Amino acid sequence: MLRPEFRIMQLSLLHPHDRFIVKAVLTGKEVGRRLADMGLTAGTEGTVVRRGVFGGPLQVSLHGYDLLLRREEAALIEVELVEAGRPGRRHRRRRFWSGPDQA
């Protein structure tokens, strides 16, 4: 369990399989309105599905659908971490297919 002061953070800092509750959307104008239209409002619960490499988009699951957010947009969303993702799986080594004769 995390200490309360470390539970509020930016959405862009979360890892795959982390569950969160949106606390505030700190952007206004058209971007904030579009995020609200897509269901990203205070009190909404979601899960990080995956993170793009090299600063790519962040895929989150909200209300039964997936949403891709730019890292810049995700950095403007404050969330409370409800549950950390599966431990030990964040930096696991990837296996690549080596061909039929090199199994």
Third-level CATH fold of 4-85: SH3 type barrels. (2.30.30)
| pLDDT single digits (tens) 23-80 | 988 887 888 888 888 888 889 999 999 988 888 899 999 988 899 999 988 998 999 9
For 26-84, where are the E strands, in sequence order?
45-51, 58-62, 65-69, 77-83
The model's pTM is: 0.73
Please report how many Cα atoms fall inside a 13 Å half-sphere around the Cα of residue 75, on the Cβ side: 6
- Single out the residue of 27, 14, 21, 26 nearest to residue 82, CA to CA: 21
Domain boundaries, the chain: 4-85
**Higher pLDDT, residue 58 or 5:** 58
Q: What average pLDDT does range 92-103 have in this prediction?
A: 49
Residue 76 CA to residue 57 CA, distance in Å, equals 14
